[in-house]
Structure 1
Amino acid sequence: MSDASDAPLVAVTMGDPAGIGPEVVVEGYREIVERARPVVIGDAAVLRAATEVCDLDLDVRSVGDPSEATRDPGVVDVLDLDNVDLATLERGVVDEAYGAASLAYVERAIELATDGAVDAITTAPINKQATKLAGSDYAGHTGMLADYTDTENYSMMLIEEPLRVTHVSTHVPLREACDLVTEEQVLDTIRVTDAALRDLGIDDPAVAVAGLNPHASDGGLLGDEDDDEIAPAVERAREAGIDAVGPESPDTVYVQAADGAYDCVVSMYHDQGHIPIKMLGFSGGTAVSGVNVTIGLPIVRTSVDHGTAFDIAGEGIASAASLVEAVDVAAEMAEAR
């Protein structure tokens, strides 16, 4: 392991205190410091409790500033917001107070990243019901990050090697998602996808664009969105120098991409892109790996590709693989920038 100053400084948010976030943070910490210099944004008391749940020999140290993070594999450095009452903490439940706490971690991390105090952000899972109870109108991290950084053109990229996918839309009803498949929206997504792939070290990325309708509309037999909206967007992207193809039949393009034909697939809506990723990343009904990247932002943000898993919170059995991979991707993108 290199010196602390040689590694990107990554703010890791703790996530919902009642979920598995604190456990995966401490469980994966020794691996995380191999790739980055982490500083956890969270509650020190909850993290100490998580080390006991996971039976780990780790110290938790409060720091006043991210620059104090040491990259010591035996010491979890945390910017302690001290906003959870450990004595009353009830794991596995939706609670307004826990939603407010998890939002505070994300807000602080965004502030640090936009101020240049950290090189990247990696987020542990929050619970949408809890954050809604706390007054948030955001469906998740993505919209919040975009608003806080005044970003208009952004997308979600999911990475589960050997597959990467991005999305024209995510957390909206399917009827609304179809209406969002416009030439401009598709083109914007292709553009930010190409830029993000270059941030990941891919010099000449090949981007496949999935069709909206079965068989990419079959020449107009199954709808007109593919010919009227997606195809023109792909053509404009190609004219701009992006190696894009499509619209491709959505029932085969993901297999082709996983086999190495493309570096990423632009998906038209949430489930179209998520289902193939989840098929690769789930084991026994639980996400064990995979990374979520918000692309198009002025800051680097990655996340685990799983939720708060309230059903196993407090049992010390949650896998930290997704968090470790997310920090690795964050460090890679920060170095590229």
Structure 2
Amino acid sequence: MTRPKPIIGITMSEAAGIGPEILLRAVEEGSIFTYCQPLIIGDFKILDLARRRFNINVGFNVIKHFEEAAWEDGKVDVIDLDNIPMGAFKPAEPNAVTGRAMIEYTEAAVRLCIEKKIQGAVGGPHSKKAAADAGIHFDGYPGLIARMTGANYPFLMLVAGNLRVANVTLHVSLRDACNLISERLVLEAIRAVDEGVKMFGVAEPKIAVAGLNPHAGEDGMFGDEDERYIKPAVKAAQEMGINASGPWPADSLFYNVMDGKYDAYVAMYHDQAHIPVKTLAFKKASAVAIGVPINWATVDHGCALDIAWQGIADPGVIIETIKLVSLRGGY
């Protein structure tokens, strides 16, 4: 018996960016239909404008509610929130209207996941500034998902093939990141990574944990956070049966990516995680929300206002992200 394909929601996200174009090009390219039944959540007017401007061959079935989806061959269902007046829209110029709309698409997709109507969702490239202009605090998808689901410890894990790197802290200043590091937070990140990697079919993940300070503190000579917080967190994870090790000096840790020594890495702050991933897999990685009870990922790039609405955006990353979420969703 053929296993039914998971239904995966895909948000249009920031309308003024490349989101509408790469979303439609992913549908037109067609390979995502092998893995899932896609469901777009956005504003049909904007999508139709992109379709006509870039001559993208995509058919729509426009609906207001999930239950109206037809799943017709040759068409993609679009839940139309109709929340961007055309007079308020200008390509490549996000504003409070598009920022609020972006959040509304995200919330709609999260609710569908919570209600188990869909088996996962992909958030398009977003603009934190546009959300802020709308008066909405948005520090990334994991935080928003956590607030909606009641998850206490959301994290982000960058994934590109077998390269997986998670952040203990994310969109905060480096000073704040250092202050946020605690044994509990590091332990919860390790636990979330262990569970997240198992969803990729790795039965007993080997997890390497980076230190915070130069040389992982070198016995407290260059900072005591590694000894006070990270080392005890690793030990606690080991006592739970998690195959974790560290803290390792971050400047040499990621060399191990080359020989596949570890299944995943835990980094302490944003750039510590993103630099190795973007060096080795620039514009090829997905950002997976872990530590939350739903299946969610986004692309590892922004809304690219410098090339938005010019017909030259590459849909490669969103295609791979849709496939990734589909595989986690039961394909």
Q: Which bin holds the TM-score, normalised by the shorter protein?
A: over 0.9
Q: Which amino acid aligns with 1:193?
A: V
Task: State the match for 1:190 in structure 2.
Answer: 190
Task: State the match for 1:24 in structure 2.
Answer: 22
Checking the alignment, whether the CA contact within 8 Å between 2:17 and 2:94 is kept in structure 1 is: no
Checking the alignment, whether the CA contact within 8 Å between 1:211 and 1:268 is kept in structure 2 is: yes
Q: In terms of mean alpha carbon deviation, does 142-151 or 189-198 score higher? A: 142-151
Task: State the match for 1:15 in structure 2.
Answer: 13
* 1:294 is the counterpart of 2:292: no
Unpaired segments of 5 or more residues in structure 1? none
CA distance in 2, matches of 1:234, 1:258: 23
Identity of aligned residues (%): 37
Checking the alignment, whether the CA contact within 8 Å between 2:166 and 2:267 is kept in structure 1 is: yes
* 1:255 is the counterpart of 2:255: yes
Checking the alignment, whether the CA contact within 8 Å between 2:61 and 2:70 is kept in structure 1 is: no
From 291, 301, 304, the counterpart of 2:299? 304
Task: State the match for 1:46 in structure 2.
Answer: 46
CA 1:302–1:12 in 2, change beyond 3 Å: closer, same or farther?
same
Task: State the match for 2:111 in structure 1.
Answer: 111
Task: State the match for 2:34 in structure 1.
Answer: 34
CA distance in 1, matches of 2:88, 2:238: 57
Q: Which amino acid aligns with 1:24?
A: I
Per-residue CA distance 1:255-303 (angstroms, 9 max, x = gap)? 2034300011100011100111111233xxxx3x210011011111111
* 1:145 is the counterpart of 2:145: yes
CA 1:204–1:92 in 2, change beyond 3 Å: closer, same or farther?
same
Per-residue CA distance 1:36-57 (angstroms, 9 max, x = gap)? 1110000112112222333221
TM-score (norm: length of structure 2): 0.94
Checking the alignment, whether the CA contact within 8 Å between 1:168 and 1:180 is kept in structure 2 is: no
Q: Which amino acid aligns with 2:153?
A: N
Cα drift, residue 227 of structure 1: 1.6
Checking the alignment, whether the CA contact within 8 Å between 2:165 and 2:264 is kept in structure 1 is: yes
Map 1:160-239 to 2 at 5 A: 160-239=160-239
Task: State the match for 2:316 in structure 1.
Answer: 321
CA 1:53–1:162 in 2, change beyond 3 Å: closer, same or farther?
farther
TM-score (norm: length of structure 1): 0.93
CA distance in 2, matches of 1:238, 1:192: 14
Q: Which amino acid aligns with 1:34?
A: T
Per-residue CA distance 1:219-264 (angstroms, 9 max, x = gap)? 3222221122111111111111100010011011112034300011
Cα drift, residue 76 of structure 1: 2.5
Checking the alignment, whether the CA contact within 8 Å between 1:293 and 1:302 is kept in structure 2 is: yes
Checking the alignment, whether the CA contact within 8 Å between 1:33 and 1:71 is kept in structure 2 is: no
Cα drift, residue 88 of structure 1: 5.4
Cα drift, residue 122 of structure 1: 0.6
Runs of 4 or more consecutive aligned structure 1 residues displaced over 3 Å after TM superposition: 64-67
Cα drift, residue 161 of structure 1: 2.8
Unpaired segments of 5 or more residues in structure 2? none
Q: Which amino acid aligns with 1:315?
A: Q
CA distance in 1, matches of 2:6, 2:15: 26
- RMSD over aligned CA atoms reads 1.7
CA distance in 2, matches of 1:59, 1:86: 21
Checking the alignment, whether the CA contact within 8 Å between 1:35 and 1:331 is kept in structure 2 is: yes
CA distance in 1, matches of 2:245, 2:167: 16
Q: What's the secondary structure of 1:326's corresponding residue?
A: helix
CA distance in 2, matches of 1:306, 1:45: 24
